Amino acid sequence: MLKVIKIRKGLDIALFGAAKPQITDLKADCYALKPKDYVGITPKMMVEEGDSVMIGSPVFFAKEKPEVKFVSPVAGVVKSIMRGEKRALEAIVIEAKGEDEYVDFGKADAKAASREQIVEKLLASGCWTLIRQRPYSVIPNPAASPKAIIIKGFDTAPLAADYALLMSDCGTAFQTGIDAISKLTDGKVHLNIGKTSSADCLLKAQNVQINVFEGKHPTGNISIQIEKLCPLNKDERIWYLDATDVVTIGRLFEDGVFKSDKIIALTGEQVIETGYYRIKRGSSLAQIFKDNVKSEDNRFISGNVLTGTRIAADGFLSAYDNMVSVIREGNQYEFIGWMLPGFKKFSISRTFPYGFLRFFCRKPVSIDANLHGGRRAFVFTGEFEKVLPLDIYPLELIKACITEDIDKMEQLGIYETDSEDFALCEVIDVSKTDIQQIIKQGLDLMRKELGE
């Protein structure tokens, strides 16, 4: 029997619009790589508009780590290179054309291959970008060796996708992927699953230490799992990746190609017909959203409602996401809204009925993206601790980030976290501070000053 690691603190937010367990195949016309999905990357283009690419053709590389290449998820033509402010690269849009043509990277036996061969193959095929490093959530330096690798096999975010469906056609590829990445570290490879996980390939995985977690969100976050399994100290590195990405790596070794297919969940209150879609990475979501969302002012999010990226109605799936959410924008004035009883409003504070009800029933709640108030200085204390299951003083860390006090940030344990861990703090903050942004800037500052 596997040991269950229980986490007491946290908050589950039940929302309308969970994905129905049905998988639909979908082929989009347009695909995009968004360099901003990757932390600390300055993209250097390897293609121009009009160039033809195959699945697995390099599109750009990272200036900081030239060996790290980002590849096309689709065969077609580079349609446009979109730039934003200061000519920062926003997206490289690729239009699908013809059949799926793959760049052949050659099959290999993951068990027999050496570390160098595996690293080389991952780098060449773009699969290296699926791995990330703590601290900072950056794509790791291939020369380094982490003290452990963690595979995330469950998600606790609101409306999170079920890994049993996400992994439903993984075949033997998941095990192959584990065999490959276990060569990358001298330490342990952990596979973390939720208590209710039913995905067969996760439960039967070999060559890894399987850890079962039980608890509310953010139990599914890597930082919380790391603290319980192998606390991250200064000067240490841990690598992590998603279980679905392990499958992609497995396929690389089994088939010799970069299989860019993945399954995502379409969720959210504003979606008419929720479900799962089998699409390619970076897929345009226009077809999925079209005629399938309620005709209100909507907010489209790649990812979950806590940490996801806001995208347009014809936007693209972000690199590490396996779900999309659609909620109401809620950009309306509300007459004396702060005074009303607010029977239908979401709040964990017991100043609203929901604050009491949530203890008794798990009824979903309707939400929108409204701030529900004005920005203030921090006034209330001791609240963030309720939703942050880390041995960290959140308010103190946030203040250290605001004052850019690097020593303090380090002492208070910023290495052990990422902005996503503070999403719930941000949700419940009475002062409506953009906490994730503050932590992100703090981490950026650390990274620039001290290196990865």
Partner 1 sequence: MKRMLRNMFDNLNKKTAKGTKLHWLHSTVEAFESFTFVSKNTAASGAHLRDAIDMKRAMSLVIIALVPALLFGIFNVGYQHYLSCGETIKEVGFWAMFGYGLLKVVPMIVVSYVVGLGIEFAFAQRRGHEVNEGYLVTGMLIPLICPPDVPLWMLAIAVAFAVIIGKEIFGGTGMNFLNPALVARAFLFFSYPSQMSGDVVWIADKADAVSGATSLGEMMTGSVLPSSSLLDMFLGFTPGSVGETSAVAILLGAALLLITGIASWRVMLSVFVGGALMGITFNLFGTNAYMNLPFYYHFLMGGFLFGAVFMATDPVTSSQTNTGKYIYGLLIGMMAVLIRVVNPAYPEGMMLAILLMNVFAPLIDYFVVQANIRRRTNRWKANADNKEMK
Pick between residue 162 and residue 426 the one whose CB is nearest to partner 1. 426
Q: Is 99 exposed, middle or buried (0-12, 13-18, 19+ CB in 10 A)?
A: exposed
**How far is 388 from 425, CA to CA, in rounded Å?**
7
Pick between residue 258 and residue 289 the one whose CB is nearest to partner 1. 289
Beta strand 43-45 pairing with 58-62: antiparallel
DSSP 377: -
Pick between residue 142 and residue 355 the one whose CB is nearest to partner 1. 355
Smallest distance, partner 1 to C-beta of residue 102, A:
36
Smallest distance, partner 1 to C-beta of residue 320, A:
17
Residue among 444, 445, 387, 439 nearest 417 (CA)? 439
Pick between residue 94 and residue 438 the one whose CB is nearest to partner 1. 438
Q: Which helix (H) or strand (E) holds 109?
A: none
Pick between residue 6 and residue 234 the one whose CB is nearest to partner 1. 234
Question: What SS3 string covers 25-91?
Answer: ECCCCEEEECHHHCCCCCEEECCCCCCEECECCEEEEECCCCCCEEECCCCEEEEEEEECHHHCEEE
Pick between residue 333 and residue 360 the one whose CB is nearest to partner 1. 333
Pick between residue 143 and residue 336 the one whose CB is nearest to partner 1. 336
Smallest distance, partner 1 to C-beta of residue 222, A:
18
Pick between residue 74 and residue 222 the one whose CB is nearest to partner 1. 222
Pick between residue 42 and residue 351 the one whose CB is nearest to partner 1. 351
Smallest distance, partner 1 to C-beta of residue 334, A:
4
Give the list of residues 6+ apart from residue 395 with CB closer than 8 angstroms, or none: 378, 381, 384
Pick between residue 126 and residue 308 the one whose CB is nearest to partner 1. 308
Smallest distance, partner 1 to C-beta of residue 152, A:
20
Smallest distance, partner 1 to C-beta of residue 433, A:
9
CB 57 within 8 A of CB 45: no
Sheet holding 298-302, edge to edge: 23-25, 275-280, 261-267, 323-328, 298-302, 309-311
- Helix ranges restricted to H, 209-333: 222-229, 243-255, 286-289
**How far is 240 from 328, CA to CA, in rounded Å?**
33
Smallest distance, partner 1 to C-beta of residue 28, A:
23
**How far is 287 from 283, CA to CA, in rounded Å?**
10
Pick between residue 284 and residue 419 the one whose CB is nearest to partner 1. 419
Smallest distance, partner 1 to C-beta of residue 150, A:
18
**How far is 168 from 143, CA to CA, in rounded Å?**
33
Give the list of residues 6+ apart from residue 387 with CB closer than 8 angstroms, or none: 9, 10, 11, 218, 348, 424, 425, 427, 428
Asked if the peptide bond before residue 146 counts as cis, ω within 30 degrees of 0, the response is: no
Smallest distance, partner 1 to C-beta of residue 231, A:
6
Smallest distance, partner 1 to C-beta of residue 101, A:
38
Structure-token match 């041995």, residue found = 391
**How far is 78 from 58, CA to CA, in rounded Å?**
12
Beta strand 89-96 pairing with 69-71: unpaired
Smallest distance, partner 1 to C-beta of residue 382, A:
5
Distance (Å) of CA 137 to CA 69, 126, 134: 17, 17, 5
